[in-house]
Chains A and B, each alone.
Chain A
Amino acid sequence: MTARKLSEIAKTVRSKNAGVDKITFDVIFAERADYDLVRRSGVLSRAAVCRLFGIPESRITDYVEFDPALAIKFTILRSVASGSPGDADIFGSQQYGPLLDLAVPSE
């Protein structure tokens, strides 16, 4: 079975603060078929995201598949509020890095 990286399939992969205590992740596709492929693959499921980041499911506050934008979106609680000493990503804008290399199996 062949696989492609999520970065080769998604149009946009981003992260950003959603308030001062949360970071939200958006994975957006240009084509419906790609959106459906990744949804079906499970590589971005709640459980998969928790495994990737090493967090319990309770850290995920929202998880949405948003058809109008062909987007998979999830939001996690920060361990440290934005901008507190020790936080090195005040905007939360680089947290998506580990998503890019996720292997999405072809069907």
Chain B
Amino acid sequence: MELLRQQFPANDFALLALVLLAPLIGAIINGVFGRRLGKEAVRTMALSVMAVAFGLSVVTFLNVATMHPAEGESVRLYWKAWEWFSLTPKYQSFAVDVAFSVDALSATMMLIVTGIGFLIHLYSTSYMEDDPGYYRFFAYLNLFIFSMLTLILGDNMVVLFVGWEGVGLCSYLLIGFWFGDEKKASAGKKAFITNRIGDFGLLVAMAILLYHAGGDLGWGALEDRAASLTKEITMWPPNESFLRAVPFGDALRPDAPIRVSVATLACFFLFLGCMGKSAQIPLYVWLPDAMAGPTPVSALIHAATMVTAGVYLVARTSFLFVLSPAAMALVAATGALTALLAASIAFAQTDLKKVLAYSTVSQLGFMFVGVGVGAFGPGFFHVITHAFFKGCLFLCAGSVIHSMHARIHSEEGSQDMRNMGGLRKYMPITHATFLISCLAIAGMPGLSGFWSKDELMYKAYTLQIIPANASLWVPPEWFGKAIYVMCAVAALGTAFYMFRAYFLTFWGDFKGWNIVRGWKDPHAGHHDEHHDDEPLDGPVPHESPLPMTVPLMILAFFALVGGFVYAEPLHIAPLGHFWEPVFASAQPHIKNLDPEHALMLPLLVTGGLIFAAGAGGAYFVYVVQKGAPAASFVKAAPGLHRFVLNKWKVDEFYEVTVLGLVDAMGDTAAQFDKWVIDGILAKLTSTLVTVFGTLLRTLQTGRVQVYAAGMVIGTAAVGWFLFTPHAEANADFDAMRATGELNLTAAPGHGYAYHWAVGEDAEGPDKDEDFTKNANLQLNFRQCETKTVHLSVRNVFGRQTRESFTYCRETRQGCCKAEGEMAPAPQAGEVPSLPQMKPQAPSRPGTNPGGSPKGGH
């Protein structure tokens, strides 16, 4: 450890380069050469880079954990790869480095990502065994790990955003992994597009923070300058001239300007990003569809790691969120609502993966409740326990689906819980690990889910955000309690529907096919379309191979005992103390209403009772009564059941509103394009070009004599220009405005002689001797004085011309207007006194610019 610290000091911790590069190299090699390398090599490559990344993550974690910083400072290992770009706009410069850092929070998260990532890579080597896209799968998976590590380790918001987009891309690629299937490809698109809405929010938040926080998006800099973000800015009206410009502007004018603190605004947009990535209302719709991807992907990306990026972001910017009780309340309320809604949908689903997907959405809601009420530690701890038990649950589901594929090849059929049942006899390891994870997610006291979920629910009940200044909106007293009640209901639902899934899958009788011992596939090697009406014969369902069950056992182990690293009620919370410095600057803004922990025990007991009620209820309904109450409920309220089964018709609602709106806009644009762009603009342009083309074409006769005529005319015109004199003068008006001294210089020409006359009615030169070679004239102006100058020029042919100029030194706005004939006054706000120069009409006959000879030959 000492040697490590010498090699990699905290301010230049280049070990992160290896952690990041390992999966990237794996992705590149597998992606580019994977097809030729063969499965064995791809597997070795993918697993070894993950092992390297995990090993180095452990080293990094231990390094962070064993550092003892000075009082009041937090551990942060920093590594700057290179300076990315720097901009120097008008007011402040802005530099972005490709820099990475590790503190307690990101060290833990990186351990989870690489650890669970490794297990799921291992699992996939077996699960994806027969897939033709084997190498592609592992290339994407490695790329995902790289992007996720970039997201976690990025030292500033821009690098985080790169990772944020990267995981979105990998998610898209992996959801649509089997892109031959239209439905799966469009599920990928849906995920990507929904995420883009959130990403927009994140970009806006970055812009706001960049503007108001002094041009630095590094975490440290933002934390230092957070206090300045409590200032308020006016949201509406934009400005007076806007109200004047729009019709009915007065109606839009509020009684008092609507003002919002910068922190609230920035946090709102940050949270919009989190809504997209972490599947919260209203952007959660992509996550259930994301189950179209291979099951290990669902486990890794859409349960354990990527979808928790939003929670990570809120925890990472906790110092910002606590400045705005309104934003915190929004986070908590959205989380609680999502937890409830998703739990309710999960009741009716029959697809095992769909149940788990809605359960994930619901658990993400819990996490946001945690970070939204100020319980950043427990909230983020729920991310970690959830990664264990939900990762395990998904992998169990994959294991079950894997064995169902022995006889049922359609996707719907193999994932449908109505085809399962009784599997605990045939798949003991899968059953045991599923049960443990199920108990954990349902919150059985002692298991990991209990410690994280019930802790954060307790905190929701007792914590309150202290507003940074008195003018901020704060949620009412009962807000925390309402959040708690919603969470409790959602938790009850969770226990019930998770055990419903468990009992349907593993208890009762097997319903997939008639089990025939020693059955051999008569159509071995060819996937026939089986007929639904005929009962199938099939083999005994089998347990999955070792590479699949080992990750299950490891994850289940952590789901079982992982909670004891943050068991606040038992006063064993090493992880909590480890994280404390990360949330230290947020802590002063959080008030604990229950400092004596008097409510802790009652609420924990309630949590235990909720678990017992939910699980017991499911046992009663699905084991004792064999599902009869559920069936009769469906019969009693078929409409409600269908409504819930169809996911509250949210997708249809979005279809009509959002997609309809976009479609309508598209149609309008198409009509506009058809009639205005194509019909008017394009036609007009082409007509114009045709007309000019026709005109010019007549000149192109192809006869050499016509061209020669053109040459003669042109030469004659140039000759005439040289033959006539031109009276023009240049002047420096800036100097004139400042000093009143105006230097006029007449334009030079061949054999030019000049004559200057000052004064409105000054006479011109009478004879040739009046002309001199002096091209310059100096004039002095008093303030607001106007003078007229006449310039006569005679050229070598003896031809003359005369031009008059009037100048005014406008030192005050409008003081030259008295002349009446002055050029328009300068616009308001412009620098005053642009002197006006205006050639006047010739005042005497015979001095027109054409220059009739006067005293010539």
Same complex origin of A and B: no
Residues of A within 8 A of B (CB): none
Residues of B within 8 A of A (CB): none
